[in-house]
Amino acid sequence: MGATTYAVPSLVVLMSWLALGEVPGVLTLAGGALCLAGVAVSRSRAGDARAAAPEETEQKAERQETAPRPEEAETPK
């Protein structure tokens, strides 16, 4: 449902054009295109971060395995 939310403004402009005869202006179309481009960029970068996340998780797990546990650490005397 989240991805379809981005299409709502475009559909409203189209429906108002068809049902009410409100012709969208050039700035309206340019603004809509800019917004959709921004959404596309933000979603593509989020996908890259999610793809990198498993590697970071594996590296973190390896560091935790090599780190001494609190009960194994020497206490100062």
**Each residue of 6-58: pLDDT tens digit?**
788 888 989 999 999 999 999 989 988 898 888 888 888 765 555 555 666 66
How many domains does the chain fold into? 1
pLDDT score at 17: 92
Question: Is residue 63 one of the residues assigned to a domain?
Answer: no
Residues in CB range of 17: below 8 A, 6 or more apart: 23, 24
pLDDT score at 56: 64
Whether residue 54 contacts residue 48, with contact meaning beta carbons closer than 8 Å, is answered with no
| pLDDT above 90: residue 5 | no
Structure tokens at 43: 């979603």
Question: Is residue 23 one of the residues assigned to a domain?
Answer: yes
Instruction: Give the domain extent around 26.
Output: 9-53
